[in-house]
Structure 1
Amino acid sequence: MARRRVHVYVSGRVQGVYYRATTRDTARDHGVDGWVTNLDDGRVEAVFEGDPDAVESMVEFCHEGSSRADVVDVDVTEEDPEGIEGFEVRW
């Protein structure tokens, strides 16, 4: 099965609104591997890897995020898959 990997930066009101936890739960529901973390500049950074359709679903999710988030921009960069497994919130 082909895998797709994307590196995502999300800006807006995305910290302190359960964005990371909701991203983790959504990724696990879609069977997507990777990680999500807060950045010091107020953005959220994430990597999604897995089935291309499932990864695309995660990119779409990032445009809305958690119910309390207010997403302004989502920057997506394609990368070569690394074969990571599982999904985690990084601190």
Structure 2
Amino acid sequence: MNVVRLTAWVRGRVQGVGFRWWTRARALELGLVGWAANLADGRVEVVAEGPRESCERLLELLRGPDTPGQVEGVVERWSDAKGSMAGFVER
């Protein structure tokens, strides 16, 4: 199994609309670990580790039409999993 780390920065109207909670729910459904955190500049940072296919699906969902608020763009970075996280939390 190809385990990876996805870091995604989501911009738009994504704070104060339940976006982190929604992301956590989707990540847990996909069996991913990590976090979703509000950034001072208005973006949400999502860090997820797990099978590449599951991370790719989460990325599709982040870019999809069913997110809370309004996503204007998502920038992604892929790296090796660090394996230091448990569960998926909102920060």
State the TM-score, normalized to the length of structure 2: 0.91
For structure 1, list consecutive stretches of 5 or more residues without a partner in the other structure.
Answer: none
After TM superposition, give the deviation of residue 69 of structure 1 in Å: 1.4
Residues paired across the two proteins, number: 90
- Structure 1 residues 80 and 67: alpha-carbon distance in aligned structure 2, compared to 1, 3 A threshold: closer
- Structure 1 residues 25 and 65: alpha-carbon distance in aligned structure 2, compared to 1, 3 A threshold: farther
* Residue 79 (str. 1) matches residue 79 (str. 2): yes
- Work out the CA distance in 2 between the residues paired with 1:66 and 1:21: 13
Aligned-pair identity in percent equals: 39
- Structure 1 residues 65 and 26: alpha-carbon distance in aligned structure 2, compared to 1, 3 A threshold: farther
Asked if the contact 1:36/1:47 (under 8 Å) is kept, the reply is yes
Q: What is the aligned partner in structure 2 of residue 53 from structure 1?
A: 53
> Cα RMSD (Å) of the superposition?
1.4
- Structure 1 residues 70 and 25: alpha-carbon distance in aligned structure 2, compared to 1, 3 A threshold: same
- Work out the CA distance in 1 between the residues paired with 2:22 and 2:43: 15
Asked if the contact 2:11/2:44 (under 8 Å) is kept, the reply is yes
User: Which amino acid is 1:41 matched to?
Assistant: D
- Work out the CA distance in 2 between the residues paired with 1:22 and 1:64: 13
State the TM-score, normalized to the length of structure 1: 0.91
User: Which amino acid is 1:31 matched to?
Assistant: G
Q: What is the aligned partner in structure 2 of residue 33 from structure 1?
A: 33
**Over residues 48-91 of structure 1, what are the superposed CA-to-partner deviations in whole Å (9 max), with x where a residue is unaligned?**
1101111101111111376431101100001111112211111x
- Work out the CA distance in 2 between the residues paired with 1:67 and 1:9: 14
Asked if the contact 1:19/1:66 (under 8 Å) is kept, the reply is no
- Work out the CA distance in 2 between the residues paired with 1:86 and 1:29: 11
- Work out the CA distance in 2 between the residues paired with 1:65 and 1:31: 22
